[in-house]
Chain A
Amino acid sequence: MVLVRNLRPPTEGVRHEEANTTAVLSGQQLGCGTLYVAETRLSWFDGSGMGFSLEYPSISLHAISRDVSAYPEEHLYVMVNGKLDLGFLDSSNGDEEEVITEIRFVPRDKASLESMFSAMCECQALHPDPDDEDSDNDFEGEEYNVEEYGHADVPTFYTCDEGLSSLTQEGQATLERLEGMLAQSVAQQYHMAGVRTEETKAEFEDGMEVDAAVAEAGQFEDADVEH
Chain B
Amino acid sequence: MEPEAVESATVGVEVVNSIRERTIAENSMVVLLQGLQGEVTTVDLRDESSARGLVLNVDAFMNIRLKDVLFLDRRGQTAQLQDLFITGRNVRYVHIPDHVDIMKTMESQLAKIHRVRNFAGEGGGRKEFGGRKK
B-binding residues in A (CB < 8 A): 57, 59-67, 70-71, 77, 81, 99-100, 114, 117, 120-121, 124-125, 128-129, 131-132, 134, 136-146, 148-149, 156, 168, 170-171, 173-174, 177, 226-227
Contacts and interface: CB of A to CB of B under 8 A. Distances in A.
Interface in B61-85: 61, 63, 65, 69, 71, 78-85
B20 interface: yes
A67 B79 contact: yes
Contacts of B120: 143
B82 A61 contact: no
A146 B81 contact: no
Given A61-B87, A170-B131, A170-B133, A143 B61 contact: no
B84 to A, nearest CB: 4
A171 B19 contact: no
B88 interface: yes
Given A61-B45, A100-B47, A170-B133, A128 B19 contact: no
How many chain B residues sit at the interface, stated as a range, is: 35 or more
Nearest to A171: B129
Interface of B: 19-20, 22-24, 27-28, 45, 47, 51, 59, 61, 63, 65, 69, 71, 78-90, 117, 120-121, 126-133
A170 B79 contact: no
A52 B83 CA distance: 24
Nearest to B65: A121
B81 A67 contact: yes
Contact of A59 (B24, B87, B129): B87
B23 A129 contact: no
Given A124-B63, A142-B121, A143-B19, A170 B85 contact: no
B27 A129 contact: no
A154 B57 CA distance: 30
A124 B57 CA distance: 14
A171 B129 CA distance: 7
Contacts of A117: 83, 85
Contacts of B28: 134
Contacts of B65: 121
A81 B47 CA distance: 10
A66 B61 contact: no
A63 B71 contact: yes
A146 B19 CA distance: 11
B19 A137 contact: no
Given A61-B90, A124-B87, A70 B23 contact: no
